[in-house]
């Protein structure tokens, strides 16, 4: 997985993350009963992102994803559906849309078999060593199935 890190001085470094891949056929992606999601790459912005300044100790994490509806029904998603956790903290929701190029609206709907590409933006600790991107799918009244993509951030 590619990680593009933008430092405070605006310089960029490209890093490769150590992926946790239990199934190499689904590297950087998961498939539920109704949709598939592929994480294309991650970006970390240390100081500011699209004019928004991050508090000391934090960074913006931008996830570039491809979501594909696998059904013949309209599927709706909220920014709250796709969560991150890091270093046993969280899970945390994506930030509200603040004008990042390609950022998903807070609510999106996919037509049957439609696929969309976009970004979700999160705030996390600048010292985070591990990231997990998560989605929870209810499969009965009391239980949820967790889908997760995990990565180790090089320091």
Quote the pLDDT of residue 25. Answer: 47
Give domain status of residue 138, yes or no.
Answer: yes
> Which of 17-21, 84-88, 148-152 is most confident?
84-88
Question: In which domain, by residue range, is 54 found?
Answer: 2-19+28-150
Half-sphere exposure of 147 (CA within 13 A, CB side): 22
For a pLDDT cut of 90, what percent of the chain falls above it? Answer: 47
Quote the pLDDT of residue 137. Answer: 86
Q: Say if residue 27's pLDDT is above 80.
A: no
Q: Say if residue 9's pLDDT is above 60.
A: yes
The CATH number linked to 41 is 2.60.40.1240
Q: Say if residue 2's pLDDT is above 70.
A: no
Give domain status of residue 63, yes or no.
Answer: yes
Q: Say if residue 4's pLDDT is above 80.
A: no
Q: Say how far apart CA 1 and CA 85 lie, in whole Å.
A: 17
Q: Say if residue 19's pLDDT is above 50.
A: yes
Domain tally, the chain: 1
Q: Say if residue 34's pLDDT is above 50.
A: yes
Give domain status of residue 155, yes or no.
Answer: no
Span 53-77, average pLDDT = 93
């Amino acid at each position: 997985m590619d990680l593009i890190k933008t430092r405070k001085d605006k310089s960029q470094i490209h890093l490769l993350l150590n992926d946790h891949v239990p199934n190499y056929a689904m590297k950087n992606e998961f498939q539920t009963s109704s949709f598939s999601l592929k994480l294309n790459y991650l970006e970390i912005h240390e100081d500011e992102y699209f004019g928004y300044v991050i508090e000391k100790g934090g960074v913006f994490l931008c996830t570039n994803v491809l979501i594909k509806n696998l059904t013949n029904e309209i599927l709706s998603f909220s920014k709250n559906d796709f969560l991150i956790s890091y270093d046993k903290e969280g899970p945390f929701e994506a930030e509200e849309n603040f004008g990042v190029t390609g950022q998903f609206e807070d609510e999106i709907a996919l037509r049957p078999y439609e696929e969309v590409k976009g970004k979700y933006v999160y705030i996390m600790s600048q010292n985070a060593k591990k990231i997990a991107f998560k989605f929870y799918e209810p499969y009965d009244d009391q239980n949820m199935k967790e889908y997760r993509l995990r990565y180790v951030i090089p320091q």
